[in-house]
A and B are shown apart, each in its own frame.
Chain A
């Protein structure tokens, strides 16, 4: 199964700069790039205010479920999910086969404006992911520093 290319610091730096640009232009609160499996790839803005890990897992699942619903009714031109809130709204856009862009913005802002600025950001994110893909699709990372020789369990039960 094809998967997200291995991203290096240069990629993450470029993605962060693109997200920052979107934050400034759209006046959004936070922007996240999310893997379709539910992982956060990177985030910018006031993300610390939110539980971004849960947000990314639920956003990816919500997007996938809504995409499934769209297909059931024969709608194949599906690319975004919008949740309108009282305080914050969330727009989740498709980037490519691996990634989504989530934008959290004040409910007083126009979703149309956020969509307009996000369109350009999506192109830039996809282009950077393509750069990573072209670099070496099978490039890995040396994880030998993970201390697997340590015999202790990774997860321990609290003592009563």
Chain B
């Protein structure tokens, strides 16, 4: 859960990018790291624990401080999980203490089954940590929209966003930075709204 440090007026929040293998989770972090506009010292190093072929082995990690928030320094820690099925224990470790989730789905038709399985795996892993997806802000990103065999957005919405209250979803071509910042800004907004609502309930 997020850490609120009253002494230093800091809020630390953990956002995890989740989704099937080769869906573009690491690419999202790389693009944020390469293109985000921050004051000096507000962006940390991108740490990748990856194999020699650049497949995520444990996680990628990017600390970043948000702009335009008065009163508090708000530090976001962005993580990715390894998408490959065999690394489930690792995914559970990375989800520990998660505050918000970006589910990065692969838009290609032949990846739909993997998208659905990965989403189910996310719900299962949260349950193993006594967490419920309903209590955690999350957004959907339909990545790789520039590939030739992509499913229509409506179909992906039907598969992954078919619920009473629909979640924010974004189309993206992460390697071109398209949709990357829109997704990041939405999850940070949802998270801060949640914290403010919680704190107001407690103060009231």
Q: Would you call B77 and A7 a contact (CB within 8 A)?
A: no
Residue of A nearest to B97 (CB): A37
A39 contacts the other chain (CB 8 A): yes
Q: Would you call B71 and A147 a contact (CB within 8 A)?
A: yes
> Shortest Cβ distance from B202 into chain A, in angstroms?
4
Query: A68 and B89 in contact (CB under 8 A), knowing A4-B3, A53-B44, A154-B189?
Result: yes
A126 contacts the other chain (CB 8 A): no
Q: Would you call A155 and B32 a contact (CB within 8 A)?
A: yes
Of residues 68 through 111 on chain B, the ones whose CB sits less than 8 Å from some CB of chain A are: 68-72, 74-75, 77, 79, 89-90, 93-94, 96-98
Size of interface on A: residues with Cβ below 8 Å to B: 46
Query: A54 and B47 in contact (CB under 8 A), knowing A1-B130, A39-B77, A147-B69?
Result: yes
B167 contacts the other chain (CB 8 A): no
Number of A-B contacts (CB under 8 A): 157
Interface SS majority for chain A: loop
Residue of B nearest to A151 (CB): B68
B51 contacts the other chain (CB 8 A): no
Q: Would you call B189 and A54 a contact (CB within 8 A)?
A: no
Q: Would you call B71 and A153 a contact (CB within 8 A)?
A: no
A113 contacts the other chain (CB 8 A): no
Residues of chain A lying within 8 A (CB to CB) of residue B63: 53-54, 57
Of residues 14 through 65 on chain B, the ones whose CB sits less than 8 Å from some CB of chain A are: 14, 32, 35-37, 44-45, 47, 58-59, 61, 63-64
Q: Which residues of A contact B (CB under 8 A)?
A: 1, 3-4, 6-9, 12-13, 35-42, 51, 53-54, 57-58, 61, 64-65, 68, 138-148, 150, 152-159
13 residue pairs of the A-B complex, CB under 8 angstroms, read A1-B130, A6-B6, A7-B7, A35-B97, A37-B97, A53-B63, A54-B44, A61-B93, A142-B200, A147-B68, A154-B185, A155-B36, A155-B188
